[in-house]
Structure 1
Amino acid sequence: MAAMVKLRIIFSENDSRRLILPNGMPESVSELVQQIKGQCGVNGDFRLQFMDAEFGNEFTNLESMSDIQDKSTIKVIFSSVAPVEPGEPLLPLYSSAATSRTLDDSSSLSSPGNSFDTDILSSPESTSSRATAWPDVFPIPRFSYDTQLQLDRANATFKETGALLNPDHKIKSAILDGLAETIVQYKVYLSDREFDEVAEALVTTHPCLKEPGSVTGYGGWKTSLKYKLANYRTKLRRLGCPEVTVNSLKHKPDGKCTPAYGVKKPKKAEVNYCPTYPAGETAETLEEIRVDLLSEVKKKNNDHRVAAMMEKTLALRRQEVIREAPMIADFKMRWPALFHVCEVSAEFKRITTIHLQSKFFSQLDSYSANLMKIYAKKGGIQGRKIKTIMAPATQTAAVEVRRERILKGLCVYLNEDPEKLVKDYLDVDKSIATAIAETVFGICVIRSEGAEPGDDPQDVMIVLEGVEVMGELGNVAFAVAMLLGLVYSLNLSYPPELRYTFEVLQKILMELDAHKLSNKVQVLKTLLSR
């Protein structure tokens, strides 16, 4: 198996990223281009240049893969057409017109010679996913003209005399309506802390709205906002918004008049949890694209088309995993493209708006030194276990080994069993197939008998419900990142025996919903910040 390769990709003067290629260097420049598009989330036409040592490290056009090696620096040169910047969603491949065709359309999209050029120009509005997560500071919108005029005058009066505005029902309703419309651009279900943030931002922007006698100055606004958003969700439910209707399903056990259970709300800071279908699309047209995907994914050098088709069908896929919770084996047969490295990263970004690999590894590496110091201070049985686990990291300089050992040590530090996450087997073990079939959730590593700590394993695979969903991942740390991506992509719950480990991965490493931590994880975060 080819050794993992890392490249430094420069997009602009202040934007460079690490590209990790677990299966080794691509065979051609075009394949490298597709890897960059898939992992870094860019689209459009561009060429590559490499740092040429023969000419004083000046950048020269990359025409052969023999010109670069592991840890080379690559520069992306976009064409004159405005590119999609790293971090922005890929443009969808299909236009609404292309997918509104009937099933008996003679010009099948998967037929030879069919051109996709015009479809690539479909507008970003053809996808319905959100582009940003909940902001650090909530942006208060401008309200209707008359409401804004009264607020501006009241704010001016407040500055002069300190007089507060006592808004009548009409003004208050207009303010709450404007806030609700802005809130749903980010999410439809808010935590108590997020309601605080909106209400606080309101009285900060418009100090005339502060409430006399209130400790915070916005307690009443917070309460009113909760009722307003609940009513707004009722309106969205009547309009068929899937993010809300999915929570109104009447799952009544044995016909009893009990509250619905199994409510399907975002639990891991998903930004696009259950998006609506793109404009002009239906379940039927998106299902046609899914069927076309089954053949497109088998073609070589076709990553950009597959990525665009996966972007287009996000809503269909999310509603399927949320509403139906299919078996992993069945879902893999329906969506085989999702279980490729590039698409796991792309799907994670579609759901959370965050780059999976760059964020995961940069955060893990930045915390490594502090984690090792924390591990070294641990005593008792846990301390001895961690010391044994971390020993190989001192015997080799391989960053992959260090990352693997830090992640395993994290499990032990949190009083969890690392073997529940990573299961090691020797290639001579005849019971590997049986063990994999019995694995519900985890990573299986096949190592050669007598291998040294720095040696690459024969195989690193992710197993879910007894099915090998991804293989040849190169190293354990990379597999953990991919496993986290699959948890989001497949809407899986964290295993109870690994809940604290994944809480750290989500909330400390990926900084998703990082404000609400369990006591155990909060203690670790405090130690890491010292």
Structure 2
Amino acid sequence: MAASVKLRIILGENDSQRLILPDGLPATVPELVEHIKRQCGIQSDFRLQFMDAEFGNEFTNLTSVSEIEDKSTIKLIFDSGLPGTSHSTSATSGCSDESSLSCASYDTDILSSPDSAASRSSGWPPVFHVPKFPYDCELQLEKANDAFKATGSLLDPDIRLKTAILDGLAEAIVQHKVYPTDSEFEEVAEALVSSHPCLREPGSATGYGGWKVSLKYKLANYRRKLKRLGCPEVEVNSLTNKPAEKSSPACGVKKPRKAEVNYCPSYPSGESAETLEKIRETLILEATKRNNEDTVAAMMTKTFAHRRQEVIRDAPMIAVFKTRWPALFRVHELCAEFKRITTVGLLPKFFSELDGYSSKLLQVFGKKGGAQGRKIKSILIPMTQTDSIDVKRECILKALSVYLNEEPDKVVKERLDCDVDNGQAEMETIFGVFVIRREGADLDDGPEDVIIILEGVEVLNNLGNVPVAIAMLVALVYALNLSYPPEWKYTFEALQKLIMGLDGQRLSKKLQVLKTLLAR
């Protein structure tokens, strides 16, 4: 059997994903194209280019599969000339109607819109880059760094220099987030003394402990300044924005908990709550029209801050919010909303990472013994009965839940189509996924319907398969600022931090153990 092959697929600007071919490279380019369409959920026609090492890694048209190998980079050139917007990212196949997942583009580049200038374009960087300080400060630091290299002497910065450094760092930090974690403060302080070794603190175990403490105080003061200026992400936590019974600033503090990059953004330039509310009212009418996806998408981007502040400040009931923002409860708009909040494309990332972890997860599951191990084995049985990638993903997600000591059927509930009426009462209270299957149907036929219900409200249906529904449930949690259901707390943590890579440095003990096993 051929060895598994991984390819990097460039779908458009700032949009790429991993393609896994378990049986190795196909024999022909058209077969490779079919694999890409199936795994990436692309409907548009395209041709392939590969990174040609013989010509300085420039992209060249791919005419033979022999020109690529494991871990090659492939670029898609769409016939429509719109590589960034003409593809779908559902990673599913078999779509036959306009509501199914591979019939729409989910990753419209919403962050490049001029109307979203107030939104951040990226999350916390892997490596924090120390900004440039005022010219005179840079001169002083340059001389002090030279003296440190020559004699090892350290600089004792005066109050003016230290203030300038802390101000510059605070401004750089808030470009990424207003509420950094303790470890992120440490990253900044460490980056500072690495860039300017003359600032190391004598007698400190790390050399930057004092800078870390000073940064925390500086950013707290900086947030007070932002609150006075009306920054919504900070202002939402002021006493004037809390209910009367909340007498303490610490009560009901609202800030990013799940690595949201644009948690509570400011209104676009020139817009106000009144003007955006008028756009929202127009949006309700536009959402009812056919073939109007581009207009709706533009209006959803325009009103993102208005919608987000409503979610954060008012925490409306889902039934009310769905009435006010019906366009949000469509798969492609929900994916776009997730990207606005996190800057990460949902479905491409979700499925490429899940598929990438699959073999390792199966190895970890296989070593589990006892009742848990037996239950996992029974859950994985359907994988041996079909070649469907959707069934494989569903089995792995359910087995992951069991491995984390949680029950899959607490969130993913299944019913036969003949028993739907009997489960109606349960559907009115469930938080999660409801799967309707035809009695006697084969695995390859897929479910009759897959529905997501929150607070007793059917928010999405016709989702095609369970893996997509679980991904959309993650998107809904972000879009509606919900807490993870306690019965699937660790499963959702795994989806967020291991699969989506959001806040992946802070893991519970249970997830840290799993991550260590997957890294072996």
Task: Report deviation, 1:417.
Answer: 1.0
Of residues 93, 101, 110, the one that matches 1:90 is 110
Tell me, in whole angstroms, the C-alpha distance in 2 between the residues paired with 1:498 and 1:13.
Answer: 35
Aligned-pair identity in percent equals: 61
Does the 8 Å CA contact 1:424/1:444 hold for their aligned counterparts?
yes
- Compute the displacement of 1:510 (Å): 0.5
Trace 1:145-156 onto structure 2 (pairs within 5 A).
145-156=135-146
Structure 1: which amino acid aligns with 2:268? P
Task: Give TM-score, length-normalised by structure 2.
Answer: 0.81
Match of 2:102 in 1: none
Q: CA deviation at 1:311?
A: 1.0
Of residues 423, 427, 450, the one that matches 1:432 is 423
Which letter maps to 1:75? I
Contact 1:447–1:457 under 8 Å retained in 2: yes
Q: Give the conservation status (yes or no) of the 8 Å contact 2:46–2:78.
A: yes
Partner of 2:77: 75
Q: Distance in 1 between matches of 2:500 and 2:373?
A: 26
- Structure-to-structure mapping, 1:73-472, within 5 angstroms: 75-76=77-78, 89-90=109-110, 124=114, 127-249=117-239, 258=248, 260-429=250-419, 430-439=421-430, 441-472=431-462
Asked if 2 retains the 8 angstrom alpha-carbon contact of 1:414 and 1:500, the reply is yes
Is 1:479 aligned with 2:469? yes
Q: Partners in 2 of 1:252 and 1:528 — Cα distance?
A: 44
Contact preservation (8 Å) 1:127, 1:312? no
Tell me by how many angstroms 1:517 deviates: 0.7
* Contact kept? 1:442, 1:463, Cα under 8 Å: yes
- State the superposition RMSD in angstroms: 3.0
Does the CA-based 8 Å contact 1:286-1:313 persist in structure 2? Answer: yes
User: Structure 1 residue 90: deviation in Å?
Assistant: 2.6
Q: Choose 353-362 or 301-310, whichever is displaced more.
A: 301-310
Whole-angstrom CA distance in 2 between matches of 1:427 and 1:234: 56
Return the match for 1:508 from 489, 498, 502.
498
Cα distance per residue 1:296-328 (max 9 Å; x no partner): 112222212211111111111111111111111
Tell me if the contact between 1:89 and 1:350 (Cα under 8 Å) persists in the aligned partners.
no
Tell me the equivalent position of 1:488: 478
Deviations 1:209-251 (Å, cap 9, x if unpaired)? 1111111110111111100000000000111111001112358
C-alpha distance in 2, partners of 1:181/1:150?
Answer: 20
Secondary structure class of the residue paired with 2:458: strand
When residues 90 and 12 of structure 1 are mapped into structure 2, their CA distance, relative to the original with a 3 A threshold, is closer
Cα deviation, residue 455, structure 1 = 2.3
Unaligned runs of 5+ in 2: 1-7, 20-36, 49-60, 65-74, 88-106
SS at match of 2:451: strand
1:83/1:269 Cα in 2 relative to 1: closer, same or farther (>3 Å)?
closer
Structure 1 unpaired stretches of 5+: 1-7, 20-35, 41-46, 60-72, 93-122
The change in CA–CA distance for 1:519 and 1:18 in structure 2 (over 3 A counts) is: closer
Q: Give the corresponding residue for 1:67.
A: none
Question: Which whole-Å CA distance do the structure 2 matches of 1:13 and 1:338 have between them?
Answer: 25
What SS class does the counterpart of residue 469 from structure 1 fall into?
Answer: strand
Aligned-partner residue type, residue 218 of structure 2: K
- Give 1:12 deviation, angstroms: 6.2
CA distances 1:127-173 after superposition (whole Å, capped 9, x unpaired): 31100110011111111111111111111121122111110000000
Tell me which residue corresponds to 2:54: none
Deviation string for 1:460-495 (max 9, x for gaps)?
A: 011101111000000000110111011100000001
Q: How does 1:44-55 map to 2 (within 5 A)?
A: 49=46
Q: CA–CA distance in 2 between the matches of 1:376 and 1:467?
A: 38
CA distance in 2, matches of 1:194, 1:213: 22
Is the contact made by 1:251 and 1:261 (CA closer than 8 Å) also made in structure 2? Answer: no
Secondary structure of 1:174's counterpart equals helix
Q: Distance in 1 between matches of 2:490 and 2:378?
A: 21
Once the two structures are superposed, what CA deviation does each residue of 1:357-403 show, in whole Å capped at 9, x if it has no partner?
01100111011111111111111111111111111111111110010
> Against the structure 1 CA distance between its residues 303 and 74, is the aligned structure 2 distance closer, same or farther, given a 3 Å change threshold?
farther
Change (3 A) 1:394 1:85: closer
Structure 1 residues 10 and 513, CA gap change in structure 2 (3 angstroms): closer
Residue 520 of structure 1 is aligned with which of 506, 510, 517?
Answer: 510
Distance, in Å, in 1 between the alignment partners of 2:319 and 2:115 is 33
Q: Take 1:490 and 1:85, find their aligned partners in 2: how far apart are those partners? A: 27
Is this contact kept in 2: 1:158–1:207, CA < 8 A? yes
The residue identity in structure 1 corresponding to 2:405 is: N
Q: Shift of the alpha carbon at 1:454?
A: 2.8
Give SS of 2:110's match. coil
CA contact (8 A) 1:10 1:75 kept: no
Residue 48 of structure 1: how far off its partner (Å): 5.2
Say which SS state the counterpart of residue 150 (structure 1) adopts: helix
Aligned counterparts of 2:344 and 2:116: Cα–Cα separation in 1:
21
Cα distance in 2, alignment partners of residues 323 and 356 from structure 1: 25
Look up the SS of the partner of 1:431 in the other structure. helix
